[in-house]
Each structure stands twice: as structure tokens, then as C-alpha cells.
Structure 1
Amino acid sequence: MIHLIFYFVHLYVCVCVTTESGQAIFWGPLFPCRDCTTLTLTSTSGLNRSPVPKAAHVRRMTLVRETSFTGNACVLGSTFGFVGSDAWVDQGCSGEFRICYIE
């Protein structure tokens, strides 16, 4: 007989499958792992699109610190954003961005 034990750790659902003797035969996340990273992205004038390391799909991107010198503000969806596993900046937007993704 196999027993399933569910644990909720850091908003992840993890599964531990054990045999009658209590020996674990599988342990891991039920859903793809999620993580965040901080990247510095720079646009001198045009679009700069960069892959996010280890990301299969970016879920969220926020500006941590703006370093633009052109006077153009960094605005989500206008001068910075994400698509698929890439993050992008445009029109002179530069800065440090916190990017959360699914592996």
C-alpha cells in the first residue's frame, strides 16, 4: 500500500509518496518550481529583450531601482515588461528589476 502525504511549504504543494514500511519513494514539488531573481536591464534607445536564466515563463516583473539617464520613466507595459521567458526594456528605460518566474 502506498501513502500520500501532502505538505504546504512556502506556498508550494509538495508530495511525499511512501510504502508501508515508511520508505519514501518520491519527494518533490507537485507544480513547477517558482523563483525570483534580480536583473539589471538597459535600453540606450531601442528595445532590449533578454532571456531570464532558468525561466520557462516569467510571472511578474517589478522595478527595484531606476538608473535611466534619458529622462524616460520606466513604466510597466510601456517601457519595460516581459513575454514568455524574456524580460524587456525600451525607450531608454534602465534599472534593476525583480523578476519572478516558473522554471
Structure 2
Amino acid sequence: MEKPRLGISEGVRKSNMPSDYKLFEFDYTKFKSKLINVPKRGEFFGQSSVIVSVPNPDGTLTDYRIIEASNFEDILQDKFPEIRSFAGNAVDNSGSVIRFSV
């Protein structure tokens, strides 16, 4: 029995492939260094001065004010201090939010 061939035929285009896009470089070490002194949610009440820029789907950059927002219990966070979660609101639009972990 012959195995079926998988692949894309010439002239067939996947509908989820973008025809126009922008490429960004991401310096993980530099990004992570910005997060060293991020205020922790629940221990900080004010406006974070830590701002990171993240590209949107349309290719524009949005600046977000970042706080640490761990979703670990304290005991687990102490066991794995290198895993941290963050949340932020856009500087220009507080309704635009971001969440990420590193």
C-alpha cells in the first residue's frame, strides 16, 4: 500500500499565510534585564516606571507599563524564582492589556 503524499501543490496558497509582514529583532537578554526591578502586584500601588515596547499585529509598537503578576503561590514562586509572570497596560490606552511569562 502506497503512503499518501502530504504537501502543498504548486499554485496552492494557504489562506493563513500573510502576504505582507514586518520582522522584528528580539533581544531576550535586554528585554529580561528591563524586568529586574518591576514592582510586584499587591506590594505596589501607583504607576510602574518600567515600560516595554511590544509589536501589535499591524506592525506598530505599543508601550506597556509593566508590573510583576505572579500566578504562583508564594511557596512555589520561591522554589522557581526564574519563572515570572507579568501584566501591563498600554501607556496610551489603559484598556489595552498584555500578560506574559519569562
Considering the TM-score relative to the shorter chain, is it more than 0.5?
Answer: no
- Tell me which protein shows more strand as a share of its residues: 1
Structure with a larger share of its residues in helix: 2
Which has the bigger relative contact order, CA under 8 A and spacing at least 6?
A: 1
